[in-house]
Amino acid sequence: MSISLEGKTILITGASSGIGAATAKACAKKGMRCVITARRKEQLQTLANEIGDSCSVIVGDVTEDGFNQHLVDCAGDVYAIFVNAGHGLDQNTLQFNSTQFKELFELNVFAAVELAALVAKKMVEKKSGHILLCASCLSKFSTPSHGAYCASKSALEAMAKTMRMELKPSKVFVSSVHPIGTTTEFFDESAKRSGMAQSDFASQTPSWLMQPPEKVANAVVRCLKKPKSEVWTSLPMRLISTALGALPRASEPIINRFS
Catalytic residue among 17, 56, 153, 199: 153
CA-to-CA distance for 26 and 142, rounded, in angstroms?
30
Residue 181 is given by DSSP the state: E
* Partners of 178 in the β-ladder: 232
User: Which string of DSSP letters, residue by residue, matches 75-128?
Assistant: H-S-SEEEE---------GGG--HHHHHHHHIIIIIIHHHHHHHHHHHHHHHT-
DSSP string, 140-157: SS--TT-HHHHHHHHHHH
C-alpha–C-alpha distance, residues 12 and 186, integer Å: 17
**CA-to-CA separations, 16 to 28, 125, 136, 177, in angstroms, rounded:** 15, 30, 19, 18
- How many residues are listed for the chain in this entry? 259
Tell me the chain's radius of gyration from C-alpha atoms.
18
Residue 195 CB-density burial (10 A; 0-12 exposed, 13-18 middle, 19+ buried): exposed
Task: Tell me, yes or no, if 136 is annotated catalytic.
Answer: yes
Please indicate whether residue 79 is annotated as part of the active site.
Answer: no
Q: How far, in Å, are 17, 24, 71, 120 from residue 32 at the CA level?
A: 19, 9, 18, 19
Catalytic residue of the set 56, 136, 175, 176: 136
Contacts of 141 (CB under 8 A, 6+ apart): 150, 241, 244, 245, 251, 255
Active-site position among 17, 149, 152, 190: 149
Which residue numbers are catalytic? 136, 149, 153
